[in-house]
Structure 1
Amino acid sequence: MINVERAGEHEFVATNGRGASVRIGRKDQEGSFSPVELLVAAAAGCALVTSETLVLRRTGTDELSAVADAVQSESGNEVISIPVTLSYDLSGVDDPEALEVVVRRAVEQFCTVTRTLKQSATAPLQLPTPLQTAPDPL
C-alpha cells in the first residue's frame, strides 16, 4: 500500500511500507515528480527491473538504463502512450537479435506496469462519507 500525504501547497509525499518516499507535485514544482512523470517512471522502471538479469548476464556489463516519455492526447488530460527505450551495450553479445527477443518476451509477460497499462486498469475513487447519526428518539 502507498500512503500519500500533503506536505505543502501542491506538494505531497508518497511513502511505502519499506521506508521509501518520493515527492509529488505539479509538473512545474521543483524537487518533485508530477503524477504523470511517476507513471512514466513506473513503466521504464518496470521494464528495467524485469530485463535486468537477462541483459546483464548476456552483455557482461552492469550498464543498463531506460528513457521514457508520456505521449499525451491533444487535450493533455490523458496519456495515450509511454514509449520506453532500453539502453545497454551490445558489443559483447554474440546474437543481439536473440537477446532482443528474450527481453521483449520477458517485459511483455512479466512487467506488471506495462501489462496493466495495456489492459487500461481502472482507478476507482472513494471519497469520505458524512457521519451517519441516529435520529433523535424524542
Structure 2
Amino acid sequence: MAAVRVRRIGTHAFTATNERGAHVRVGRAGEPGAFTPVELLLAAAAGCVGITAEDLVVRRAGADAAIEAVAEDVRPVGAHELDAVAVRLGLDLSALGGAERAELVAVVNRAVEAVCTVTRTLKRSTRVDLAVP
C-alpha cells in the first residue's frame, strides 16, 4: 500500500514525501515552485497514462519513442470540483505504417482502460475517508 505524507513548511506551503524519499512542493495557486493539489491530481492522471503506454509504444515504435501526456482540468472558473479530467497522449508514431499506428492506438486505449489505476479511479469516483482526531 502506498502512503504520502504532506507537512506544512510555511504559509500556504507544504511538502509531500513518499516512502522512497521523493519530495514535491504543494501549495495554493500562485505559490512559487509548488504544485497545487489539482495539478498533482492532473500529474497523476497524465503520469499513469504515460507509464501504462510506455512499454507498448517502445516495443512498437522504438526505444527513443517520444511520449508526452498532458492532463487538463475541466471545470467552471472558481469551481471547487472538477467536471472532468481531459488527458491527451502525444506519441511520435511516424515510424509506423497506418495499420500499425491504428493497432497501437487500440492497444494503448485498452491498456489504459484496464490497468491505469489513477484514471480508472477517477472514472469510478472513489470514496475519500477523512479522519481528524
CA distance, structure 2, for counterparts of residue 73 and residue 38 of structure 1: 19
1:74 CA drift (Å): 5.8
Q: Counterpart of 1:109?
A: 114
CA distance, structure 1, for counterparts of residue 28 and residue 94 of structure 2: 41
1:27 CA drift (Å): 1.1
Q: Counterpart of 1:88?
A: 91
Unmatched tracts of structure 2, length 5 or more: none
Residue type matched to 1:84 in 2?
Answer: V
Q: Counterpart of 1:53?
A: 55
Structure 1: 4+ residue segments shifted above 2 A: none
Question: What is the aligned residue count?
Answer: 128
Report the identity percentage.
49
Select the structure of larger CA radius of gyration: 1
Please give the per-residue CA displacement for 1:27-68, whole angstroms capped at 9, x wherever unaligned. 111100000000000000000011100011111133111111
1:112 CA drift (Å): 0.1
CA distance, structure 1, for counterparts of residue 17 and residue 78 of structure 2: 31
1:93 CA drift (Å): 1.2
CA distance, structure 1, for counterparts of residue 86 and residue 60 of structure 2: 24
Q: Secondary structure at the match of 1:7?
A: strand
Residue type matched to 2:126 in 1?
Answer: A
Residue type matched to 1:30 in 2?
Answer: P
Unmatched tracts of structure 1, length 5 or more: 129-138
Q: Counterpart of 2:68?
A: 65
Q: Counterpart of 1:39?
A: 41
CA distance, structure 1, for counterparts of residue 48 and residue 90 of structure 2: 14
Contact 2:65 2:92 in 1 (8 A): no
Q: Secondary structure at the match of 1:123?
A: coil
User: What CA RMSD, in Å, does the superposition of the two structures yield over aligned residues?
Assistant: 1.1
Q: Counterpart of 2:130?
A: 125
TM-score by length of 2: 0.92
